[in-house]
Structure 1
Amino acid sequence: MIAAIDLKAGMTFEQGNKLIKVLEANHHKPGKGNTVMRMKLKDVRSGAVTDTTMRPDEKVKKAHIDTKDVQYLYSQDDIAFFMDLETFEQYEIPTSIIEDELKYMLENMEIKIQFYGTEVIGVTLPGTVVLKVVETQPSIKGATVTGSGKPATMETGLVVNVPDFIKQDEYLEVNTQEGTYVKRASK
């Protein structure tokens, strides 16, 4: 059992027959009343996202999640295909479960797949990935890093706000947790 105050983004717990993933968890002290934990939670199986509050001392049962190293192969007909790097066994995950993560994944990329018992429940991405800019506004002469930035569409369809000096066809390092530009990268 784990107290609600100890829940962090990315953790998974059981609630009845549901498997719940914490997307956001914030400690909140209103002007009057008791301290609460404001959380954004996602039902792993249905994909439903809810905002809720819990008392900090409220207990939940932490789910035991295992991971395996896999290679992302491709997506077809609303299914993403992965291959175990040791046994070469293939796994299929509905794209609806991992649609946010797919924006950071390229074919043949190595990631971790998450299991709850024998059930495949999602993927774990590396902290950053290198993606190519396929569309952005032309760079502005004299632009600096401190500019407000501009949107850039990456090869996976992800749109990231980048500095004004970034050009089309450049490779960028992108933070997978926040979806933000980190730096230029070499391919």
Structure 2
Amino acid sequence: MANTADFRNGLCLDWNGDLYTITDFQHVKPGKGPAFVRTKLRNIRTGRVIDNTFNAGVTVVTARIEKREYQFLYKDESGYNFMENENFEQFNLDEKLVPQADLMKDGQLVSVLVHAETETVLSVELPQYVELRVTYTEPGLKGDTSNNPMKPATVETGATIKVPLFIENDELIKVNTLTYEYDARVKEGR
């Protein structure tokens, strides 16, 4: 149990029969009337973000969520298969629980969010940045450098990312998994 004074980004609430994480909150004390807390809540199962206002001092039920590290093995007709690195136990997840699946390579380490009381897998989170090889992109036009032009590039996982004109086929790039944006070119042989 927690009250509105305990709110912080990332706190997980068991609210209205579902699990939500607080992505943003603001304590408001108007000149007239009681204080309240304005929040943005992200549904852990669906990813949908909603706005909600709580009266100051209201008690809410918190849920304990654990992040565990697993390795992505492969995708088949039944879903995405992961393995725990300590006891090599494997499990399968439905595609809707893996939001950034098109940026995930075989063998990649990911964080799996697990509801601690029920041991239910809620979702999978990739690291903020992943390194992927460009498999196909059109050659850039020389001299076209105005306004930071970008071109589409297909990476080894099949996702399409906008990259600068100087990026060529078979280059390794760093991609932000939250925004699907190119971040940097990766030097080979590090």
TM (norm. structure 2) is: 0.77
Matches within 5 A, 1:17-166: 17-22=17-22, 24-25=23-24, 27=26, 37=38, 39=40, 41-44=42-45, 47=46, 49-55=48-54, 57=56, 60-98=60-98, 100-117=99-116, 118-142=119-143, 147-166=148-167
The alpha carbon displacement at 1:3 in A equals: 3.0
SS in 2 for 1:103: helix
Is the contact between residue 111 and residue 126 of structure 1 (CA under 8 Å) also seen in structure 2? yes
Identical pairs, percent: 27
Is the contact between residue 12 and residue 21 of structure 2 (CA under 8 Å) also seen in structure 1? yes
Is the contact between residue 113 and residue 122 of structure 2 (CA under 8 Å) also seen in structure 1? yes
TM (norm. structure 1) is: 0.78
Q: Over alpha carbons, which structure has the higher Rg?
A: 2
Counterpart residue identity of residue 53, structure 1: N
Counterpart residue identity of residue 101, structure 1: Q
Is the contact between residue 140 and residue 164 of structure 1 (CA under 8 Å) also seen in structure 2? yes
SS in 1 for 2:74: strand
Query: RMSD of aligned C-alpha atoms?
Result: 3.1
Q: How many residues align?
A: 180
Cα deviations across residues 132-174 of structure 1 (Å, max 9, x unaligned)? 1223231222455961322222222323222121112211101
Task: For 2:146 and 2:13, locate their aligned partners in 1 and report how far apart those are by CA, in whole Å.
Answer: 41
Is the contact between residue 12 and residue 63 of structure 1 (CA under 8 Å) also seen in structure 2? yes
